[in-house]
Amino acid sequence: MLIRLTFLSTLLCFTSIAYSQSSLIKCTKFKQIQRENGEWEDWPSSWNTYEADVNFVITDMKDSDYQLQMFIDGVEEANFLISYDEEVSEMKRKDWDEEYVNCYKDEEDNYLYLMNVSLKSLLENPKDWNSSDAVMYLWVFSDDYAVIVK
């Protein structure tokens, strides 16, 4: 009986640890631009509303590495392994005159920029995403488009 209870408490502990390392954020609005002939379009002034259920799941892999999965209506549409890029984060903070910009890069040099939140803060408290200032930029240089989501 004691062995079984120890196993169950260990299992619950591991389940709790695994759960705390992942967070889900729901996106309801977006803007998108394309890059043609090396030039980016201007960002639209108004937001589009997602008609589908769009969610991102963030998982802490280790150190400054994260997995970001995008689900549309429950189906995984994208899966990125990204790492925090301190150099680009510092550069963007200066360029944009924003104190809280965090940049992450995948193996294909595509970028994720987060304003007013970080992946670490979202793992600790996913409700931070609901702040009116939280924004995610996805720069998919490999396919010449960028998206801002809220």
4: phi then psi, degrees, rounded to nearest 5: -65, -45
Q: How far apart are CA 147 and CA 52, in angstroms?
A: 16
Domain ranges of the chain: 22-149
Band of pLDDT at residue 4, cut at 50, 70 and 90: very low
Give the tens place of pLDDT for each residue, 44-70: 999 999 999 999 999 999 888 999 999
The contacts of residue 11 (CB under 8 Å, 6+ apart) are none
User: 140 is written with which tokens?
Assistant: 């998919």
Give the tens place of pLDDT for each residue, 86-145: 999 999 999 999 999 999 999 999 999 999 999 999 999 999 998 878 999 999 999 999
Name the DSSP class of 107. T
